[in-house]
Amino acid sequence: MICGALILLMHYPLLNLADKGGTAGGIPVLLIFIFTVWALAIVLYYFLSKNSGKRNRYE
């Protein structure tokens, strides 16, 4: 489910919204968007893998 949401963030319509030719601090907004989604994916998968090893205390 989370992988699907990340794939949707990198889909053409949302990439097209970020690709308007603008810059932020001299860096194209499209690159900022792509690397932000990439970094969020890494952090999200880290926390998911960290919590996946814990057992449910109600078992």
pLDDT digits (tens, 9 = 90+) for 3-45: 777 777 777 887 787 778 888 889 888 888 889 988 988 888 8
pTM above 0.75, yes or no: no
Judged against a pLDDT cut of 80, whether residue 51 lies above it is answered with: no
Q: Which two tokens stand for residue 54?
A: 């814990």
**d(C-alpha 40, C-alpha 43), whole Å:** 5
Arithmetic mean of pLDDT, 36-56? 80
Judged against a pLDDT cut of 70, whether residue 1 lies above it is answered with: no
What lies within 8 Å, CB to CB, of 40 at 6+ separation is 6
Judged against a pLDDT cut of 80, whether residue 56 lies above it is answered with: no
